[in-house]
Structure 1
């Protein structure tokens, strides 16, 4: 009785909560800003903060958020302890993963915050119950309410900044620029953001009844979509035996993400229909049928997603992203099996079993997410070992191997593998590994692969004169530039090149065709204008110090005597025209392009 009274009293209101959370948010945001802002201007190259700074900022921000959502007047010290543990775990895991902004775009971070998002409503329920008890209506209610609060607080922050800039513009009209100047400082924006978010969270949590009513409205709206998605998924699954799975692979390379998104959507909408308890279940038979259809469809969708993931792994080997896909498919399958069994065993009363499964799986997902957030299980190392085995066994050719992924997606394991491959007995692998190791970004590696691919394709449309002989790879690479043979797969190209020659001359077929076209009447004057393309002519290449390069036709520097003679001749008016011998390309006896020299 006393415990229920305490919870009811907390939800009735706590006047100190809004100012406390506003102060907490402002101080936490300011601390994060001071840790991460190195005082660099736009003219200075950006320097990433040290790993400990990013990890500490993550700990402070995460801990403050957990405290804001978890704090109540009753057992407030539980919330402080919980927030401290959550913040410490977040910061240590970030630092353990190597720190840096790179970690924020990693799946490890997604796993960490998924675990925290599940842990918070579980803590809120235990706090209200005063022990390790988790009534499903309370857990589910807190989870949905937290989502609504999160979105509403971000909306409030946006309104706060819009209002601040509006007032700054208003004060500017009368010559008062203090607010505009303050908004140009990062520390002031941090205070405004943190204070606004905390104040919104405190004010909304003071109106718990309104927020829970809003949560019910949101779930009621979402529930209406359950029959739509349910029927759509059933039609999709019924159609698969007739269309075949190959239609999925032919349509897109994103089969697994699309299917998993459908499973997540089905899970959310099904729970919007079944509610927190039997009393909150939708009574409309259309909605109930839609939720049951979603429950039945989840597992088959997960099976198809698993098949798609297996095909990608078997064809292209393991990568960190594919291993994460395996994890997500496994979780989707777990939910799919639980919901399918609930429908099979309880039929019309399946929702009760589904709610029990939700609570059990919540603990599993939170624990698994926390474990996968740590580097204890290295997907990079597993992927590297698998890809190296494929390369060294000959299952994949060196030119088809994804070198950029090994260098930039597999972390330290990939970089160590590159060093090992650079000492390979296979000369092709060793040379490619050394070349990739010298690049500092994936685009440089990709450009090398693209150049090689284009150079290989050029062979199919290349005519070599006077004798058809193989053209060196390095020469073919420069020939694919736009001012040589280009990379248009339909445009043939002729090259004058002899074995062991240090010079080559190339001209694309399109250029020859344009020079051979008839002139057309000049509609803006008299005479005719040519149909040839200005500047269209042969391109000249020369081998210098082992490197093929285009000769741009630059004039050699004048000697001092020649420069003196030029000045004297100009002063004396000695300007004349003389015929000189020149090298030039002739096709069928007709000159094409400008003389070389």
Structure 2
């Protein structure tokens, strides 16, 4: 490169370097007072929201846009993002508590990231800002440039560490001194990031990374095979044993996002996807409807069992948004004929705008997940659907914002009205405990009255077997309360909804008098039969590992009538204990064994 060319390149890079350095220094200013801001919490949050969104958006758009236009576009993003974060903070007693809610912060980041390509195109090519091809190229171009910038910073500091180690051999510590000055390190990192963006832009990195598209398109067929195998296995395996947990829903939603991304890649890589990859993309678009529907079903099953929490509200919001995408993708792919790619491209732009509006709505007081969840949990207690001991009281006191605190006040009134001393104690612990684990530790002790109450309610088999109150020492209060509550869920004949079977269930004869199986009803309407293994010793009872169900339907697939029938048979002594690799309990078509925790 000649000297004039070098000067031109330096002048072109200087704005990006300066913007990066300024962004790093601004973040240091905020981080310096993170724990004890000199400003009011609301003003600190506003400054944090504005500077972070402004710096991030300007760095994302500079290159395709000049410095001044990128700064102007960043204002389009930063101002509404700041307003939305301040609205979201209204649900907390202290505004900065919002920053501890990872879900809301992630939603804000996602909304800002979605806005950047729309704003970039609106300022550069106003007539194409709603075109799929332009949006896809702008979005992937932003991701590619930012990834290169981050990679360049990582390489810079790795080289810095190696250089410092080398210079340290001759007692030169200048690089170490620079790294230890926080503001200088962040400012330098920002400058290096800006330099990386500038070089990527010079090399034509402003467009979509087609090599990445080519590589991702190779995943279409493998992902289609995995999804097809999963969907084909559902009729054989059933839904209840796999779903009903947020982890299942999260897996399904993550796979849905992967499927959507691959379909979009196929639509960007080829004008008219054809061949094996084209067929795979079309089938993935159709299958997306089923996967997103199962994700929504998994969340709803969890809510049906245990009520609302903020995490379940957000999970269902995301799942329903993905389900809408799945329905639209499937509709375009199934009925769009040969023109399905163009039809889906137009639909994706509309879906992106709708998703952005949904995220913005979730940050407003209209969707205060903490308040909605807290009101639901209190309502379940007042109607008798949930026991107070099952409430997430610590989360309500510390994580659910003002809505959770208001719900605790209502529970205080309920406890006073009903004379529920245990609930009053739990509410006090929830407010004073510094963590949920500390609250659990505070309720470890079990009272003599609770042990005696369980003994009075609990049928013991086989005939002649007994347990005493001392046998249940060492257990946590919530465990005994759970079992007492289950025993009080009477069977149709009026007998208890639980039974303890104590016998030769272990692998060796010396365990015969120590081991027992506790069967009790759980879940909505007591339809789920739970089986727990206990070992009785000098210090009381100890929980063993999980129970392995060798035969019979999984607990989640049992009906209420099946659970009641099994309990009644156990209470009547209609079971046998027989050896396998170790002795097992046979109760009807159910066979269980105890496996120690290793």
Q: TM-score, normalised by structure 1?
A: 0.70
Q: 1:32 to 1:174 in 2, by over 3 A?
A: same
8 Å CA contact 1:274, 1:351 repeated in 2: yes
8 Å CA contact 1:26, 1:195 repeated in 2: yes
Deviation at 1:295, TM superposition (A): 0.4
The answer for the alignment partner of 2:524 in structure 1 is none
8 Å CA contact 1:49, 1:100 repeated in 2: no
Deviation at 1:88, TM superposition (A): 3.0
The structure number with the bigger radius of gyration is 1
8 Å CA contact 2:57, 2:116 repeated in 1: yes
Q: 1:453 to 1:68 in 2, by over 3 A?
A: farther
8 Å CA contact 1:26, 1:198 repeated in 2: yes
Instruction: Tell me the SS of whatever aligns to 1:159.
Output: helix
Query: Which of the residues 434, 437, 453 maps onto 1:443?
Result: 437
Q: 1:38 to 1:111 in 2, by over 3 A?
A: closer
The answer for the alignment partner of 2:251 in structure 1 is 258
8 Å CA contact 2:371, 2:403 repeated in 1: yes
Q: Distance in 2 between matches of 1:137 and 1:453?
A: 68
Query: Which of the residues 256, 266, 270 maps onto 2:263?
Result: 270
The answer for the alignment partner of 2:563 in structure 1 is none
8 Å CA contact 1:231, 1:293 repeated in 2: no
Query: Which of the residues 27, 47, 65 maps onto 2:22?
Result: 27
Query: Which of the residues 258, 283, 298 maps onto 1:308?
Result: 298
Over the aligned positions, Cα root-mean-square deviation in angstroms equals 3.5
8 Å CA contact 2:17, 2:195 repeated in 1: yes
Q: Distance in 1 between matches of 2:61 and 2:78?
A: 13
Does 1:294 pair with 2:294?
A: no
- Consecutive unaligned residues of structure 2, counting only runs of 5 or more, are 1-7, 459-465, 480-505, 516-535, 541-598
8 Å CA contact 1:141, 1:276 repeated in 2: no
Q: TM-score, normalised by structure 2?
A: 0.70
Does 1:223 pair with 2:214?
A: no
8 Å CA contact 2:60, 2:146 repeated in 1: no
The answer for the alignment partner of 1:234 in structure 2 is 228
Q: Show CA shifts across 1:40-93 (max 9, x none).
A: xxxxxx657763335423422321221122235867544322212322333444
The answer for the alignment partner of 1:319 in structure 2 is 309
Q: Distance in 1 between matches of 2:438 and 2:329?
A: 48
Deviation at 1:201, TM superposition (A): 1.3
Q: Show CA shifts across 1:333-353 (max 9, x none).
A: 111111111112223432111
8 Å CA contact 2:474, 2:539 repeated in 1: no
8 Å CA contact 1:145, 1:212 repeated in 2: yes
Pairing 1:427-576 to 2, within 5 Å after superposition: 427-428=419-420, 429-452=423-446, 509=537
Q: Distance in 1 between matches of 2:445 and 2:289?
A: 45
Q: Show CA shifts across 1:155-196 (max 9, x none).
A: 111011112222222222222222211111111111121111
Pairing 1:323-338 to 2, within 5 Å after superposition: 323-338=313-328
The answer for the alignment partner of 2:178 in structure 1 is 182
Query: Which of the residues 42, 66, 80 maps onto 1:89?
Result: 80
Q: Distance in 2 between matches of 1:109 and 1:404?
A: 21
Query: How many residues end up aligned between the 2 structures?
Result: 461
Q: Distance in 2 between matches of 1:289 and 1:376?
A: 42
The answer for the alignment partner of 1:350 in structure 2 is 340
Instruction: Tell me the SS of whatever aligns to 2:180.
Output: coil
Q: Show CA shifts across 1:390-417 (max 9, x none).
A: 0111111122333223223322211222
Deviation at 1:356, TM superposition (A): 0.8
Deviation at 1:311, TM superposition (A): 1.0
Q: 1:439 to 1:419 in 2, by over 3 A?
A: farther
Deviation at 1:247, TM superposition (A): 3.0
Q: Distance in 2 between matches of 1:160 and 1:234?
A: 44
Q: 1:413 to 1:294 in 2, by over 3 A?
A: same
- Consecutive unaligned residues of structure 1, counting only runs of 5 or more, are 1-12, 40-45, 462-466, 481-488, 494-507, 513-597
Query: Which of the residues 403, 418, 423 maps onto 1:426?
Result: 418
The answer for the alignment partner of 2:589 in structure 1 is none
Deviation at 1:470, TM superposition (A): 5.8
Instruction: Tell me the SS of whatever aligns to 1:396.
Output: coil
The answer for the alignment partner of 2:131 in structure 1 is 135
The answer for the alignment partner of 2:523 in structure 1 is none
The answer for the alignment partner of 2:528 in structure 1 is none
Q: Distance in 1 between matches of 2:225 and 2:334?
A: 19
Q: Show CA shifts across 1:478-534 (max 9, x none).
A: 9x9xxxxxxxx98969xxxxxxxxxxxxxx84599xxxxxxxxxxxxxxxxxxxxxx
